[in-house]
Chain A
């Protein structure tokens, strides 16, 4: 399936605003990609305030914090998630990661480099906000997926994130997913709206214009909340739910043969 030099596609999942379903998208997308036969690892890059383990109902005994402080190896903290993918959990309640030190930078880079050969996808689930840690995590990924909801606050934060990534990291392709969208039409319209504002205010000042790639939307679905309360992965618990189907469609778009190379340019 993979040529000898194949390396994982590294995708950072970010949103600016918290609570828009970033971790939900990361975990369910991972399960959907795994179902397509891909080897997927999700790294909880919200190093100080992690919750990937919580939505997956995992109880990690050790986390990335233990790796970063030299107490554990990556293999010792890696957990198998329901849904057939792997997880590197992070710690919760650690203030120290609100600042990004050069040691953490180097360690994170090394960890990710070391994992590339063994997976088809590395998903980096960033924290909320546009902190240095979030920006640094994004800088380690070739592709960035921005998750937004149709709320004005989420839209504004998604836009700010896109603008910063374009201006600071010279990114000219960013992927966009709408969560809890009212309809496909609404999500498309919002994606167009974002692109127009980007064209006018961001693309005017960059050498390579930023193109947003709208991947799709996940409809608001009562099954999502039910799964979350039971700490089960929606894609596993209710694969036929509308939101699960939407995630499967996203995985298909992302995983399409043209998606890997052509769209990255």
Chain B
């Protein structure tokens, strides 16, 4: 921990010297290599420290994913970008099924392990340009810029499947199978929605995925309404005999 009780510094030292010890300790704890590498402070070294701290402030401690602050800022940016670029983007909300009972039955360390496992599944299955975030307790979110509905659906299915096929082994040797429910909302330029409305839509879809039995994906219908072969078959059913 960073020492809460610091030695008061003399006014003269506060004017001229930098006290970087707390910052460097924070970074060490978070697993960063020493940005100064034992050298004295230069502007470049200081910049490295600042960059690392900024990065740290946007990350979720437990999972290493983007935290809620970073997620909300990115979502706002994406909503704005979509309205300018005309591209479709996608917001996914991912929730671990029956997470509470994992916590209750196996304890919080198991819960944490589950959260980390799902975070890894997310990282493995999204594209480099996507932003995966932990958004509250056991809920995750992914923002997928420039994402066609079919591609978005495939990515969501992939995440769902990957989690279900990756059991975790707890400290006591218990094997735990996790599943997730995923709700998706499209960010499309001609349906002007705020970040808040998008989150609400994705949340509704998430609820639908849960209600339909969990371990599945539900997406809003924006721009993704395929016509099935059954429909075509019925549509053309009388064609053969009618046309001559």
Contacts and interface: CB of A to CB of B under 8 A. Distances in A.
A58 interface: no
B221 A156 contact: no
Interface in B52-90: 83-87
A196 B234 contact: yes
A131 B87 CA distance: 11
B57 to A, nearest CB: 31
A197 B234 contact: yes
Nearest to B222: A168
B121 interface: no
B189 A159 contact: no
6 nearest A-B pairs in the assembled complex, by CB-CB distance: A99-B86, A136-B190, A102-B83, A132-B190, A160-B227, A167-B221
Contact of B231 (A101, A102, A133, A201): A201
Interface of A: 98-102, 105, 132-133, 135-136, 139, 152, 155-156, 159-160, 163-164, 167-168, 186, 189, 193-194, 196-197, 200-201
Nearest to B82: A102
A99 B87 contact: yes
Nearest to B227: A160
Interface string B203-234: 00000000000000000011101011011101
Nearest to A98: B86
Interface string B136-169: 0000000000000000000000000000000000
A148 B167 CA distance: 52
A168 B222 CA distance: 6
Given A164-B225, A167-B221, A168-B221, A197 B84 contact: no
Interface stretch (B2-10, B26-34, B236-244): B236-244
Given A105-B189, A135-B190, A196-B234, A100 B225 contact: no
A102 B187 CA distance: 13
Contacts of B230: 201
A152 B230 CA distance: 15
14 contacts: A99-B189, A100-B86, A101-B83, A102-B83, A102-B189, A102-B192, A132-B86, A132-B190, A168-B225, A193-B237, A193-B238, A200-B234, A201-B230, A201-B234
B235 A159 contact: yes
Contacts of B237: 193
A133 B223 CA distance: 12
B235 A194 contact: yes
Given A132-B188, A164-B225, A189-B242, A156 B84 contact: no
A104 to B, nearest CB: 9
B90 to A, nearest CB: 15
B103 to A, nearest CB: 36
Given A100-B86, A101-B84, A159-B231, 19 more contacts: A99-B189, A100-B189, A100-B190, A101-B85, A132-B188, A132-B190, A136-B190, A139-B190, A152-B235, A152-B239, A167-B221, A168-B222, A168-B223, A189-B238, A196-B234, A197-B231, A197-B235, A200-B234, A201-B231
Nearest to B87: A99
Nearest to B190: A136
Contacts of A167: 221, 225
A149 B140 CA distance: 47
